[in-house]
Structure 1
Amino acid sequence: MFKIAKQSLDRFSTKTIASVATGVVVAGAGVSIALTHPTASSPIARTNSVQVTQDGDSGLTGPGTESHTVKLPRQLPSKKAALPGGVSTGTSFWDAQTASGKPMSYHTIASPYWPLGTKVKITVGKKSAIGVVEDFGPAEWAVAQHNPPAIIDLSEEMMQYLTGTRSNSLPIKFQVLQLGDGPVYRHSGTGYDMATGAIEK
């Protein structure tokens, strides 16, 4: 075995720090030492690792490793329940005041089963209008005397636009676009299931 003087070892170590990773032959104090790359059995040998992340964010890996990130799809939101739609008898009304406290307008509609603030698309033939539930009604007896049940009261101005007559009652097509967050007048009665269920068209 070779014996290396302390002075030579000091000189050798300072000259070879930058070359350790390259594997070149370094000479110091007349002694040649060959450095080689680590083999597969070396603790820093190159290995493969797989990282699985929910949104594609990869973590840090240690030295000498290759990282392969597998992206998992984001969890899909649950499908929203269908909003009610179908065919009802539409009647018309005009009152000075509404249950919501808002003044009567073209867009005002009334319903006994939908909460105040609900937006509903009304279609008659090729014409459509969007109303907002701002009042309660018709009364149970008025709902029940029509077939299909009259679960929607339209403002006379909307009825005029859709049919050409302010005071009218006829079958209309309705589609709830957005449920309001106000109070509801009744939770049962004629036409309740039609007003609150998803109706096949």
Structure 2
Amino acid sequence: MHKRTRQAITLTVAGVLLATGTTATAHAAAGTPIRRPAPDQILPSSPPSLAQPPAESSAAQSPTPAGSAAPEASPAVEPTPEPTPELPSGTATATSFWDGATASGKPMRYQTIASPYWPLGTKVKITYRGESAIGFVEDFGPAEWAVAQHDIPAIVDLSEKMMADLTGVRSNTVHVRFEVLKWGTGRVYRRSGTGYDLAMGRS
């Protein structure tokens, strides 16, 4: 009777001590040896949180240092320029004129020439029987009817001073050799008509 009561008390005490975390004392009270868990059975005291966000990639975590330069981009390839069209030249009829004002706004001068097809500012070389002069398109003319009435279209008007220098006569109509040396950037009077192809070097 006393033995069973003692065993019941011992078990009760062991249970209370086990619940309060004093496992070693409970085992001692029960008279049983203490068994320690194997090292591979020990659990960590605080398991990692399952809500922890996944680690970012190493590329995102290592930004480029402020002192280091970003890789240089390849230099842009410049487009190949188109070849400059051949400047026109040929034989045409030249007439002469003299006006107080010109379409360009510049005063009439020795080097002033006129054309219905070449833009203002175009530089032209005129040759007559081995004599040459350089002029600039600063006016528009001759008129369409004047261009068409000659055997070779009259696509250029020379200042009377230039005509006199080349032919000896201020007011004259002659066949000349023309060479466009440089295109101007000004206005153009007409883009079609008698002699247009000749002026552009197409015939």
- 8 Å contact from structure 2 (residues 125, 180) kept in 1: yes
Any idea what SS the aligned residue of 1:141 has? Answer: helix
Partner of residue 178, structure 2: 174
2:121 maps to 1:125: no
- 8 Å contact from structure 2 (residues 89, 199) kept in 1: yes
Deviation at 1:76, TM superposition (A): 8.5
Quote the sequence identity (%).
66
Please identify which structure carries the higher helix content: 2
Partner of residue 33, structure 1: none
Partner of residue 111, structure 1: 115
Deviation at 1:92, TM superposition (A): 0.1
Any idea what SS the aligned residue of 1:161 has? Answer: helix
Partner of residue 155, structure 2: 151
Partner of residue 32, structure 1: none
Deviation at 1:197, TM superposition (A): 2.6
Q: Which of the residues 75, 86, 95 maps onto 1:82?
A: 86
For structure 1, the residue ranges without an aligned partner over 5 or more in a row are 1-74
Q: Distance in 2 between matches of 1:193 and 1:147?
A: 15
- 8 Å contact from structure 1 (residues 119, 133) kept in 2: yes
Partner of residue 72, structure 1: none
Deviation at 1:126, TM superposition (A): 1.2
Describe the superposition over 1:96-153 as per-residue Cα deviations: whole angstroms up to 9, x where unpaired.
Answer: 0000000000000000000000000000011000000000000000000011000000
Answer with 1 or 2: which has the greater Rg. 2
Any idea what SS the aligned residue of 1:167 has? Answer: coil
Any idea what SS the aligned residue of 2:145 has? Answer: helix
The amino acid across from 1:175 in the alignment is E
Deviation at 1:196, TM superposition (A): 1.2
Any idea what SS the aligned residue of 2:92 has? Answer: strand
The amino acid across from 2:90 in the alignment is G
Q: Distance in 1 between matches of 2:121 and 2:82?
A: 25
Partner of residue 105, structure 2: 101
After TM superposition, list the pairs within 5 Å mapping 1:1-201 onto structure 2.
Answer: 79-197=83-201
- 8 Å contact from structure 2 (residues 119, 187) kept in 1: yes
Q: Distance in 1 between matches of 2:80 and 2:119?
A: 29
For structure 2, the residue ranges without an aligned partner over 5 or more in a row are 1-78
TM-score with structure 2 length normalisation? 0.59
The amino acid across from 1:155 in the alignment is S
Describe the superposition over 1:80-107 as per-residue Cα deviations: whole angstroms up to 9, x where unpaired.
Answer: 3210100000000000000000000000
Q: Distance in 2 between matches of 1:78 and 1:184?
A: 23
Q: Distance in 2 between matches of 1:177 and 1:198?
A: 16
Q: Distance in 2 between matches of 1:131 and 1:171?
A: 16
Please identify which structure carries the higher strand content: 1
TM-score with structure 1 length normalisation? 0.60
